[in-house]
Chains A and B, each alone.
Chain A
Amino acid sequence: MLAFSSIRLVVLAILSADPQRPVHFDTEIIPVLTRAGCNAGACHGAAAGRGGFRLSLLGADPAADHESIVHQFEGRRVHPVDPELSLLLRKPTGGLDHGGDVVLREDGPGFERIMSWIRAGSPRGAPRTLTAFEVMKEASIGDELPVEVPLRAVASFDGGPPEDVTRWTLWTSTDPSAVRVESDHVVKLSRPGQHVLIGRFLDRVVAVRFSVPLPAEPVDLTAEPRNGFIDDEVLRVLSELRLPVSPPASDAVWLRRVSLDLTGRLPAPERTEAFLADASSEKRGRMVETLLQDDGFADFWTWRLAKLLRLHSLPNEPESLRAYSVWLRGEIVRGAGLDSLARQLLTATGDSHVVGPANFGRMVGDARGHAELFSRFFLGSRMGCANCHNHPLDRWTQDDYHGLAAAFAKLDRGRQVRWLPRGEVTNLRTNEPAVPRIPGVRDLAAGDDPPRELTSWLFEEEPRLFARATVNRLWRGMFGRGLVEPTDDLRDTNPATHPELLDQLADDFIANGYDIRQTLRRIALSETYGRGEAVLPGNVADDRFYSRAYSRPLEPEVLMDAIADVTGVADSFPGSGFGRAIEIVDPLVPVTALDLLGRCPSAGGCDEGMAGTGGLPAQLHLLNGDLINRKLISDEGRLGQRIAEGRSDREIVAEFHLLGLGRQPTDAELTAWCERLATGDVRQRRLRLEDFVWSLLNSRSFRDNH
């Protein structure tokens, strides 16, 4: 028995050893080139190549690379008789002038491997498929920093024994100041926190996450209040990182926060006062229910979804946008599951002036735009890169991109939306008509119905894809940042801060019928959401683990409406029926103030995660523009009316505090303001009160949700 085991071990060892066989181009030469940076986007992997030599980006197309290296220009790059003379070796080793400097050492394993391959006749080799790639951290991370962590990457081909490919894996740190690649197999961690290292081997990309605790004493969060799996998961990560949690937010802060997050509106003074006076322990739950059923909720989330779906007016067809937005709002009002909404978007046909969801494909110009909108909205993924080359950091290939576009190629995007019997897009990789395809999964057969197949894939085969993208956006709506950021760039190499939580939220979302209200309710009532923004010495550096609340600027439309609500002077917008900025779902409606405040001005939409604060123009407009100033001097406005009614300074200061900040002023604030406002001159008093409101509206406390 012992002998048998020994023999088996020997056999396994032999099988695991590097076999004595010719070097294989696709799986052994391409990694050398990738490791050396030859096929990077900044080098020969650029779309136009470099120096007349073009390689596919990161070796995505080995056949084309083999052609370029071995055969192009009558085989100029390899010398089959005298391999040392090969351009492929002389350039990267510095034997000849090379724009990319020396990237291969003559005594290194990469050089030797390429040399062996050329000696063997530069074959492409028999097909050999990478079936598994795994990266292992070989040491636990202690308290001492900096610390070196050995890495090991193994790959299996055709289901065979694992091979050590650590040396041929391209390691990229997402934050070199915290994680630095020291050598082929060692990274150096020099800062606490959560860091990501990307390992690439051939077409596989793996993200390795390092959680390095703070050098402080461990924190005990077991006694922290928690309300469901959100708090459990957030506290677990905080414990790992030794981050203490800040005290809960006050009721006033929480109410202002949840009102803005769920309805895009400041809480009305009456609602604030009633809420603050309520001593019940269930009052937050009741408030969330009230807000979720509020018209403001429907308006706000219609606007949010409209941005994601890139609603905009079509030339000479206002009916289309109207039908689309009315349908969208109706779905939200009736509490339809997002799966139902999504199915309609994918399958609706008919008169787009009547059938709202039929406009989904009309918001883009062509099938490729349709594919990109599909991937952004349904998958939370930016697939656009794969138009020209395989996505360098994601799994999408050019075939996926053009195949998905081909799935929408037969859609007639005229007023009568319908599926035509023919229509195709060209796959830019093959220059042939693309085969309709479910991205990353399979080609569609000739008789398949693409929208039906895509719907089935999204909601039956891979429901987590859409659910993860959606709950991540809902989370962002409530916290100002997604668990994955940006929220339209979900991929393995951009991991979530809390991957387990993201999955739990997605599963919960699916289990509750894709009901956004349920997920928002769960988040709003969590202790994590209710945390205060006070900064503790131990969590000052935290900007993503929710040990405290993070202030974030109000979105342009929300800010504009809030200013109107506080000043009591409504804005007038072009077109009919717009009472509030949040009701304008069409970015093409010209509103200068919104543009200055940072509204996405494009009908094609903007990348999610781009700050909508408008930068310097917005600051100047708020300080000096007429958005605030015009409303302050209006006699019809709240301030003018209160002065006319003979209200005291104290009353006016208290009312505006309650309106703008969602709380009563403190005694110190009240006293300070009253001292500054006190004057016997009527005109001077008016000016001072205008200055008070101006100061309030320009304060971070007002312009931020905190």
Chain B
Amino acid sequence: MTRAIQEGMGVRRTARRWRARVTKRVVGMVVWLFVATVGFGNARVAAADVDLSPVVTAPITALALTPDGHSLVVGSAAGVRIVSTVDRQVVSSMAIEMAKVHDLRFSPDGETLLVAGGEPAEGGKVEMWDWQQRRRIDRVSGHADVVYRVVWSELGDRFATAGGDGICQVFRIDDVRSPVRYAGHSRAVLAIAFVDQETIASAGVDQTVRLWKAADGSHLRTLDNHVDTINDLAIRPEGGGRLIDEAGESTLGPKMLATIGEDRTVRLWQPSIGRLVRFRRLPVVPRAIAWSVDGRRLHVGCQDGQIRTLDPDDLAESSETAGLVGRVHELIVDGDKGLVWVGGENGFRAVNQSE
């Protein structure tokens, strides 16, 4: 028996003695303190399992895995910090200039990190950082409210933003001063993704998914089956929808778009034809969504802190994993390690989701 475990047992014995002595009033205070600290969320994850101070002084609203996979970039109202994935210690922080951080995205080549956010009701911005140099290389704005999401194109030559002002913009890396604007949404846009190099899907408070051209912002199609705010969307990775033809050959299936909303549904769409393929109602509001690297699983982070993994073929729930205490805001997949990183109201955490 190691010393640490012995010490731990000693602590527990002491705690038992104290529990026997405390009055009902003190128990009530402890309960109150717990609830005040972690809210009324599902308590299936103990608070000790979640990374809190010094990394977390505010709800985690953005996560990004560094290109080398050794660190995690963590964004919140407290700023942006870089945390070791091994010991969860803060390695460094980044001097960003925005009140709220809502998204962090590395370029496909891993050289540029986008930090998206801004000042609510004042302006949204995206800071572009040279990751190797840890140096801000540019900053783009043009939003009248915060930027909730930023996403890179597959080739990394452009990135698109989704703003709380209802505007989406596409910036070319070689000319960030002349963005393409899309103003088709009537209210805040909360999620955005490149369907392919030329097509963008965006969604938000107006309950619609809108497909539009990245090149000129022209509207293509509206998907409008959600009956409340759409919280997130994600495009299925290539290969996840493989079909076997009559000759037994494997071919790529159609692109698949997953959306989640305040109406507690997960919906799968075929964006090329605008068809709702299937949907499932969840017991709680889903907040963040991410496909597995092979596109054969759909991870959904929920209001209750749980991560529900669904089979896209029938949207049946294959597993439910304890994620966090409280709401999930962000979900990213580390395919190399079979982990899902989940960030939210009370910190962040890695969950093993071996595929």
Contacts and interface: CB of A to CB of B under 8 A. Distances in A.
Contacts, number: 69
B327 interface: yes
Contact of A73 (B32, B78, B164): B164
A426 to B, nearest CB: 13
Contacts of A247: none
A79 B329 contact: no
A270 interface: no
A79 B100 contact: yes
A85 B119 CA distance: 9
B121 interface: yes
Contact of A126 (B36, B57, B78): B36
Contact of A123 (B36, B58, B102, B122): B36
A73 B99 contact: no
A82 interface: yes
A123 B120 contact: no
Interface string A413-446: 0000000000000000000000000000000000
Contacts of A73: 148, 164, 188, 190
B58 A52 contact: no
A81 interface: yes
Contact of B120 (A76, A81, A82): A76
Interface in B288-330: 327, 329
Interface in A4-38: 22
A81 B345 contact: no
Interface in A135-171: none
B32 A126 contact: yes
Nearest to B35: A126
A460 interface: no
Nearest to B39: A124
Interface in A39-98: 52, 71, 73-77, 79-82, 85, 87, 90-91, 96-97
A687 B107 CA distance: 99
B289 to A, nearest CB: 15
Given A121-B36, A123-B36, A126-B35, A77 B120 contact: yes
A125 interface: yes
B146 interface: yes
Contacts of B61: 74-75
Interface majority SS (helix, strand, loop, mixed), chain A? loop
B35 A81 contact: no
A303 to B, nearest CB: 46
Highest count of chain A CB atoms <10 Å: which of B120, B164, B190: B120
A78 to B, nearest CB: 9
Contacts of B146: 76
A124 B148 contact: no
Highest count of chain B CB atoms <10 Å: which of A79, A82, A124: A79
A81 B57 contact: yes
Given A74-B59, A74-B61, A80 B77 contact: yes
Interface in A114-136: 120-121, 123-126
Contact of B148 (A71, A74, A91, A121): A74
Contacts of B119: 85
Contact of B99 (A52, A85, A97): A85
Given A52-B187, A52-B205, A76-B100, A96 B37 contact: no
B31 interface: yes
Highest count of chain A CB atoms <10 Å: which of B57, B61, B99: B99
A123 B121 contact: no
A76 B101 CA distance: 10
A124 B205 contact: no
B40 A124 contact: yes
Interface string B66-107: 000000000001100000000000000000000110100000
Contacts of A124: 35-36, 39-40
Contacts of A90: 121
Contact of B188 (A52, A75, A80): A52
Interface in B243-287: none
Contacts of B35: 123-126
Nearest to B166: A52
Interface residues of B, number: 31
A6 to B, nearest CB: 25
Interface string B118-139: 0111100000000000000000
B36 to A, nearest CB: 4
Nearest to B117: A74
Contacts of B188: 52, 73
Given A52-B205, A85-B99, A91 B36 contact: no
A280 B219 CA distance: 91
B36 A125 contact: yes
Interface string B182-204: 00000110100000000000000
B122 A74 contact: no
Contacts of B120: 76-77, 87
Contacts of B31: 126
Nearest to A122: B39
B144 to A, nearest CB: 11
B148 A80 contact: no
A263 B61 CA distance: 73
A91 B121 contact: yes
Contacts of A96: 121-122
Given A123-B37, A126-B36, A81 B78 contact: yes
Interface string A207-240: 0000000000000000000000000000000000
Interface string A192-203: 000000000000
Interface in B317-351: 327, 329, 345
A12 to B, nearest CB: 18
B60 to A, nearest CB: 9
Given A52-B187, A124-B35, A71 B164 contact: no
Contacts of A77: 120
Nearest to A53: B121
Interface string B31-45: 110011101100000
Contact of A71 (B37, B187, B327): B327
Contacts of B57: 80-81
B58 A80 contact: yes
A680 B148 CA distance: 96
Nearest to A98: B121
Contacts of A120: 36
B59 A80 contact: yes
Contacts of B345: 71
Interface in B4-58: 28, 31-32, 35-37, 39-40, 57-58
Interface string A616-635: 00000000000000000000
A22 B37 CA distance: 11
A87 B36 CA distance: 22
A85 B120 CA distance: 9
A386 B59 CA distance: 35
B188 to A, nearest CB: 6
Contacts of A80: 57-59, 77-78
B313 to A, nearest CB: 28
Interface of A: 22, 52, 71, 73-77, 79-82, 85, 87, 90-91, 96-97, 120-121, 123-126
Given A71-B345, A121-B37, 17 more contacts: A73-B190, A74-B59, A74-B100, A74-B148, A75-B77, A75-B100, A80-B57, A80-B77, A81-B57, A82-B77, A96-B122, A97-B121, A123-B36, A124-B35, A124-B40, A125-B32, A125-B36
22 contacts: A71-B327, A71-B345, A74-B100, A74-B329, A75-B58, A75-B59, A75-B77, A76-B100, A76-B146, A79-B99, A80-B57, A80-B58, A80-B77, A82-B99, A85-B119, A87-B121, A96-B122, A123-B36, A123-B39, A124-B39, A125-B32, A125-B35
10 tightest A-B CB contacts, nearest first: A123-B36, A126-B32, A80-B58, A74-B61, A76-B120, A87-B120, A81-B78, A81-B77, A85-B99, A96-B121
Interface of B: 28, 31-32, 35-37, 39-40, 57-59, 61, 77-78, 99-100, 102, 119-122, 146, 148, 164, 187-188, 190, 205, 327, 329, 345
